[in-house]
């Protein structure tokens, strides 16, 4: 027994080690190339035992599905339904209502500026803003453009008021020209009304101030019988801007005006997002929203962010600092003056619009400065350069602006010095790049250093992210992108679709297109007359269309003037015609060209119809056609032709 026991104990470790040896041997064994061949010929299959063991090991760690709590699952469905209700504005509107409102933009679409829109029910209408725009380079002698008011004359008996969103020129600049033709009550916050009042004074319309109706934000005003309007504070590049809520029987329409979402504005008054969300919660029929900056995916910077950059620039300046920005950007000017005072500089404000806007804002306590920090332009020459900050207009290179006149040495008080630092705190408005470049060349020829870094300017318009926030807060059923060229509103449409507005509920308007909006639909119904009126700012008078067309032709094609004396008895020229040209042939060819024209006239008179000699006007018209054909055939041009025929 003892031997058996001993043998058993001796053999046990060997049995335990054996599998390890086999495993080691199996791992080192090369695959048998004949194995599959043998299996195919003999029909034998390898044992599945090892695979079964592997499956058992794999399944051993799997758990069965956790039990579903039906109560929790039901609340998932409830929350999903809550989201649908929250994001779907349809159920908030009275779909049984037959009421409707019509929106007709008369300016501001397909362009930058000239903003004006009509909101109209069956019985009444209101205007939102009455702005001007700037002319193209080929509109010679034209200073500003104002909208065509023809449609307003058609519906003048329906209009119960004008609503002003903010005080920029492209929203209030055409008010004096409208009031020379039609007068209506004006509703707005104090700063826009004060600036409109200044315009009325310039145009000798002081009596028009009686139409002013100042409003209080966050308060609903009944205008006429059909409109309830509320102004909501909005941040922009000018103080006291607003979005408006227009409520009619058809529903509420939100018009953003120009806006950006500035969480840290200079005056501490951020955009009234709570009020926008309030209307969004109640249900908004339609949103009209600013599209100017719709291509920018990066959130627009806060106006306050410009301060450190201005501080850095001012701290390094050794001579005079001349800062130019938009005259309406009072918070930019305010910050610049603060840093100028910080570094011991006196402030000289130059430029009529800059002086006027700053004065109005100080009069109405939007900003506060002691008068002792300001000096007159004529005093600057007697001061040390490092003690002077000049705040002026002309950041867009306007030919009559103060900064441009300084750059070419024509300003009465200020001449540019090599030690001057010019700070351009603005961006180029599309179309002004050439004039700005021209001004920069003049400034740098004077030796001045120009600072126009990106961090010394921020836009006043909402970028894509802020537009998304507006869309989500308001949550409108219908969406009309406004303010901007076609590519801007098209991009804004895409943003609206990203934010849940169906494509069928978005329309891209053009000036003059009338859009009818009801709780169940939105559609274009007709087109009204629109256009631009040309204004000469030197005398504040309109320039007729044909004058502008003649100027364009003169600039592009030149002019031919002919004075011809014709005998009434013979129908022939009594003397050689006097021919004067501008922009047609060089001076050295004047005589040859006059001889050529004399032959044309002589041939014309030989072949004129009987009896034409008795009708000089008809004779001049026919001669004009003959000369025009000759010039085009020879020069491929259509000059302005002015024949004058005297019959003796």
Min mean pLDDT across 233-247, 487-501, 577-591 is at: 577-591
Give the end of a domain, one of 428, 453, 478: 453
> Quick one: pLDDT at residue 33?
52
Average pLDDT over residues 147-173: 96
Q: Over 90: is that where the pLDDT of 418 sits? A: yes
Question: Are residues 194 and 284 both part of a single domain?
Answer: yes
> Quick one: pLDDT at residue 502?
95
Q: Place 62 in a pLDDT band, splitting at 50, 70 and 90.
A: low
Average pLDDT over residues 147-167: 97
Q: Tell me, what CATH number does 359's domain have?
A: 3.40.50.10710
Q: How many domains does the chain have?
A: 3
> Quick one: pLDDT at residue 408?
92
Question: Are residues 129 and 224 both part of a single domain?
Answer: yes
- Domain, as residue range, for 197: 101-298+460-536
Question: Are residues 516 and 468 both part of a single domain?
Answer: yes
Give the end of a domain, one of 431, 453, 475: 453
What is the Cα–Cα distance from 166 to 131, expressed in whole angstroms?
10
Torsion of CA 264, 270, 273, 276, to 10 degrees: -150
Q: Over 50: is that where the pLDDT of 626 sits? A: yes
Min mean pLDDT across 39-43, 203-207, 537-541 is at: 39-43
Average pLDDT over residues 606-615: 79
Question: Are residues 192 and 315 both part of a single domain?
Answer: no
Average pLDDT over residues 406-429: 91
pLDDT digits (tens, 9 = 90+) for 522-574: 999 999 999 998 888 777 778 888 888 888 888 888 899 999 888 877 778 88
Q: 347 and 341 in contact (C-beta within 8 Å)?
A: yes
Q: Place 52 in a pLDDT band, splitting at 50, 70 and 90.
A: low
Answer whether residue 225 is part of any domain.
yes
Answer whether residue 587 is part of any domain.
yes
What is the Cα–Cα distance from 447 to 302, expressed in whole angstroms?
33
Answer whether residue 492 is part of any domain.
yes
Which is higher by pLDDT, 648 or 155?
Answer: 155
Question: Are residues 523 and 627 both part of a single domain?
Answer: no
> Quick one: pLDDT at residue 611?
73
Answer whether residue 548 is part of any domain.
no
Cα angle 401, 404, 409 (rounded to 5 degrees) comes to 120
Question: Are residues 162 and 310 both part of a single domain?
Answer: no
Average pLDDT over residues 151-168: 97
Q: Over 60: is that where the pLDDT of 463 sits? A: yes
Answer whether residue 16 is part of any domain.
no
Give the end of a domain, one of 453, 478, 497: 453
DSSP string, 8-41: HHHHHHHHHHHHHHHHHHHHHSPP-TTHHHHHHH
DSSP string, 45-90: ---SHHHHHHHHHHHHT--PPPPP-HHHHHHHHHHHHHHHHHH-GG
Average pLDDT over residues 617-629: 89
Q: Over 60: is that where the pLDDT of 371 sits? A: yes
Q: Over 80: is that where the pLDDT of 354 sits? A: yes
> Quick one: pLDDT at residue 543?
83
Q: Tell me, what CATH number does 603's domain have?
A: 3.10.20.580
Question: Are residues 285 and 211 both part of a single domain?
Answer: yes
Question: Are residues 419 and 515 both part of a single domain?
Answer: no
Question: Are residues 114 and 209 both part of a single domain?
Answer: yes
Question: Are residues 626 and 505 both part of a single domain?
Answer: no
Which is higher by pLDDT, 136 or 603?
Answer: 603
What is the Cα–Cα distance from 53 to 31, expressed in whole angstroms?
21
DSSP string, 203-229: TT-GGGGGGEEE--TT-EEEETTTEEE
Average pLDDT over residues 446-458: 89
Answer whether residue 90 is part of any domain.
no
What is the Cα–Cα distance from 188 to 213, expressed in whole angstroms?
7
Question: Are residues 572 and 606 both part of a single domain?
Answer: yes
What is the Cα–Cα distance from 560 to 580, expressed in whole angstroms?
6
Answer whether residue 385 is part of any domain.
yes
Min mean pLDDT across 37-51, 143-157, 342-356, 544-558 is at: 37-51
Average pLDDT over residues 436-458: 91
Measured CA to CA in angstroms, residue 499 lies from 272, 273, 467, 493, 602 at distances of 20, 17, 10, 10, 74
Q: Over 60: is that where the pLDDT of 440 sits? A: yes
Query: If DSSP codes are grouped into helix, strand and coil, which group holds residue 409?
Result: coil
> Quick one: pLDDT at residue 37?
47
Query: If DSSP codes are grouped into helix, strand and coil, which group holds residue 505?
Result: helix
Q: Tell me, what CATH number does 257's domain have?
A: 3.60.15.10
Answer whether residue 605 is part of any domain.
yes
Average pLDDT over residues 112-119: 94
Min mean pLDDT across 172-186, 357-371, 471-485, 620-634 is at: 620-634
Question: Are residues 236 and 312 both part of a single domain?
Answer: no
> Quick one: pLDDT at residue 279?
96
> Quick one: pLDDT at residue 5?
43
């Amino acid at each position: 027994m003892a031997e058996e026991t001993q043998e058993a104990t001796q053999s046990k470790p060997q049995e335990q080690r054996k599998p390890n040896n086999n495993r080691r041997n199996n791992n080192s064994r090369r695959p048998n190339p004949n194995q599959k061949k043998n299996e195919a010929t003999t029909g034998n299959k390898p044992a599945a035992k090892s695979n079964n063991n592997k499956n058992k090991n794999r399944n051993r760690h799997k758990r069965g599905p956790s039990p579903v709590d039906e109560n929790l699952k039901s609340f998932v469905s409830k929350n999903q339904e809550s989201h649908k209700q929250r994001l779907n504005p349809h159920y908030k509107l009275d779909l049984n209502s037959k009421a409707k409102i019509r929106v007709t933009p008369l300016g501001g679409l397909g362009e930058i500026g000239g903003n004006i829109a009509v909101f109209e029910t069956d019985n009444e209408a209101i205007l939102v803003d009455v702005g001007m725009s700037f002319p193209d380079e080929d509109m010679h002698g034209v200073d500003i453009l104002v909208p065509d008011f023809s449609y307003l004359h058609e519906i003048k008996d329906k209009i119960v008021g004008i609503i002003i969103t903010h005080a920029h020129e492209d929203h209030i600049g055409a008010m004096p020209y409208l009031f020379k033709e039609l007068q209506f009550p004006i509703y707005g916050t104090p700063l826009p009304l004060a600036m409109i009042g200044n315009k009325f004074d310039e145009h000798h319309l002081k009596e028009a101030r009686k139409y002013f109706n100042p409003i209080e934000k966050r308060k609903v005003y009944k205008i006429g019988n059909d409109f309830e309007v509320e102004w909501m504070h909005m941040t922009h590049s000018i103080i006291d801007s607003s979005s408006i809520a227009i409520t009619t029987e058809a529903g509420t329409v939100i018009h953003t005006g120009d806006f950006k979402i500035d969480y840290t504005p200079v005056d501490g008054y951020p955009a009234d997002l709570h009020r926008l969300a309030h209307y969004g919660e109640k249900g908004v029929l339609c949103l009209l929203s600013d599209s100017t900056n719709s291509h920018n995916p990066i959130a627009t910077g806060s106006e306050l962010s410009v301060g450190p950059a201005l501080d850095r620039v001012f701290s390094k300046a050794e001579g005079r600092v001349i800062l130019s920005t938009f005259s309406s950007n009072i918070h930019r000017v305010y910050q610049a003056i603060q840093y100028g005072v910080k570094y011991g500089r006196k402030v000289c404000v130059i430029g009529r619009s800059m002086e006027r806007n700053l004065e109005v804002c100080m009069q109405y306590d939007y900003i506060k400065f002691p008068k002792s920090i300001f000096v007159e332009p004529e005093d600057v020459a007697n001061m040390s350069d490092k003690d002077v900050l000049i705040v002026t207009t002309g950041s867009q290179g306007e030919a009559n602006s103060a900064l441009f006149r300084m750059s070419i040495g024509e300003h009465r008080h200020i001449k540019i010095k090599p030690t001057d630092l010019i700070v351009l705190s603005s961006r180029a408005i599309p179309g002004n790049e050439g004039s700005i470049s021209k001004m920069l060349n003049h400034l740098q020829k004077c030796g001045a250093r120009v600072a126009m870094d990106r961090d010394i300017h921020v836009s006043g318009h909402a970028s894509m992210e802020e537009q998304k926030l507006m869309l989500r807060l308001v949550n409108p059923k219908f969406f009309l992108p406004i303010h901007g060229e076609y590519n801007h509103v098209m991009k804004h449409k895409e943003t609206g679709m990203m934010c849940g507005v169906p494509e069928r509920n978005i329309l891209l308007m053009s000036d003059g297109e009338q859009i009818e909006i009801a709780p169940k639909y939105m559609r274009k119904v007709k087109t009204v007359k629109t256009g631009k009126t040309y204004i000469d700012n030197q005398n504040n008078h309109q320039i007729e269309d044909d004058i502008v067309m003649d100027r364009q032709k003169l600039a592009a094609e030149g002019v031919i003037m002919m004075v011809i004396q014709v005998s009434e008895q013979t129908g022939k020229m009594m003397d050689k015609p006097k021919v004067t040209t501008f922009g047609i042939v060089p001076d050295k060819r004047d005589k040859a060209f006059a001889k050529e024209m004399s032959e044309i006239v002589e041939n014309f008179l030989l072949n004129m119809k009987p009896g034409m000699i008795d009708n000089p006007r008809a004779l001049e018209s026919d001669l004009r056609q003959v000369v025009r054909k000759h010039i085009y055939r020879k020069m491929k041009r259509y000059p302005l032709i002015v024949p004058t025929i005297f019959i003796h």
